[in-house]
Amino acid sequence: MTKRRPPTQERDGRHVLDLDRYLPYMLVSITNAISRGSSRVYLDRFGIGVVDWRVLASLSVYPNVSAKRVSELVMIDKGAVSRSLATLHRLGHITYEEDPSDPRRKSWRPTAKGDTLHDMILPIALDRENTLLRGIDEEDLEQLLSTMQRMMANLDRLSDMNG
């Protein structure tokens, strides 16, 4: 394995980030741009934002889960997930069952209306992904996905560094 060139550059006798090589900056820039564009499309066409879409999509894959689990799945703080759950519930896209032993604990799942909304947004989300990946061959994409999965597995190490 070759050693990675540091993601820094010299500027006025100091080391500063090279934003074209600093991965966290690149990832955040890409995801922010994707989220902004997706939110505009989903709000204009369907009346929900990108967080709502992520919550609905996760509930479509993993129905009957708690708000805490949804937060873990979409990697968004519980406050934003709770607001999204409330919005999607108010719009009739999701429903819940209360835990008999703790009425505050709910298991969320899509309704038929939510399934329909999911099925309308999914092709748009996939088309946006295809546009983003244009010009990237299958082998490079598989390598990128593998690398990103390893980075996701390393996220716990980052949170361990916060202490």
Q: Do the domain assignments include residue 149?
A: no
Q: Which range of residues forms the domain containing residue 46?
A: 8-123
CATH number of the domain that 114 lies in? Answer: 1.10.10.10
Q: Report if residue 163 sits inside a domain.
A: no
Residue type, 90: R
Output 100-107 pairs: Cβ under 8 A, ≥24 positions apart: 105/66, 106/66, 106/67, 107/64, 107/65, 107/66
Tokens 């896209």 label which residue?
A: 93
pTM for the model stands at 0.88
Condensed to tens digits (0 to 9), the pLDDT of residues 116-155 reads 999 999 999 999 999 999 999 999 999 999 999 999 999 8
Distance, CA of 117 to CA of 46 (rounded, Å)? 8
Question: Where is average pLDDT lowest: 33-37, 96-100, 120-124?
Answer: 96-100
Does residue 154 belong to any structural domain of this protein? no
Question: How many structural domains comprise the chain?
Answer: 1
Using one digit for the tens of pLDDT, what is the confidence trace for 118-129? 999 999 999 999
Q: What pLDDT score does 163 carry?
A: 56
**E strands, 2-101, in order:** 8-11, 14-17, 94-99
Assess if residue 161 is contained within a domain.
no
CA distances in angstroms from 86 to 57, 74, 145, listed in the order given = 15, 16, 32
The whole-number average pLDDT for the span 40-49 is 97
148 lies in a domain?
no
Mean pLDDT of the chain, nearest integer:
94
